[in-house]
Amino acid sequence: MGIKAQTKTIGECTLQYSITQQQTADTIGTKWVYVKGDQCKTILQTPQMVQSIFFDTQKTNAFITKVIGASRFLQEVVYPPSGLPNLISMKEIATDSVVQILGYPCKNVELQWSDGVIYQIWYTPEISISVNNFELAFKEIGGLVLSYTIIPMNGSAIQYRATSIDFSPISMNQFTINKMEYQVID
């Protein structure tokens, strides 16, 4: 009889992911995820732009900032957005070997969406974070996602793989936006 370990929920952490275009194996950017209690901030950085999403799981809206060259934009959106594709299937993929990411044993699950997009996810059931839906697809995952590949119907697959995780306290000013620095767009 196996012993099922209890998942430990972490209320504060910083994750960093490397973003790779699968077809060419080129690194195309970095994603950071900051979680503190009910608040989450994600930063997607590519050579062309920096986009941040700020949201609180207790609120119905989010803020998106985009910096493209010298232009800085701010948009308030309903979050989570309505009209999202539905999850069609979620299946655990059995593997012969244990995959370790950042020292954590990971399980593999595949999600298929109504729009045809497939998420191949590696997660550790040992820990979860207080805001696990920094990607809306992760809401149903029973642990912390450390690697995921998004496979669209058309186009190239993109992989996000955690390169670091830090459980140090995060300053509240990480979640503050100086709205004077941005052009507000509707």
How high does pLDDT run on average in the chain? Answer: 92
Which residues have C-beta within 8 Å of that of residue 173, sequence separation ≥ 6?
Answer: none
- The CA distance from 164 to 20, in Å, is 16
- The CA distance from 184 to 75, in Å, is 6
Using an 8 Å Cβ cutoff, are 76 and 66 in contact? no
- The confidence band for 3, taking pLDDT boundaries of 50, 70 and 90, is very low
Which pLDDT tens digit goes with each residue over 109-121? 999 999 999 999 9
Ordered by start, the domain boundaries in the chain are 12-185
% residues pLDDT > 90 (the chain): 76
**Which pLDDT score is estimated for 4?**
54
- The CA distance from 98 to 109, in Å, is 13
- Is residue 1's pLDDT more than 70? no
Predicted TM-score (pTM) above 0.85? yes
- The CA distance from 156 to 151, in Å, is 7
Using an 8 Å Cβ cutoff, are 135 and 44 in contact? no
- The CA distance from 52 to 45, in Å, is 9
The backbone torsions φ and ψ at residue 155, rounded to the nearest 5 degrees and listed phi first, read 110, -175
Using an 8 Å Cβ cutoff, are 146 and 123 in contact? yes
Best CATH choice for the domain 12-185 from the list 1.10.3210, 2.30.230, 3.90.960, 2.50.20: 2.50.20
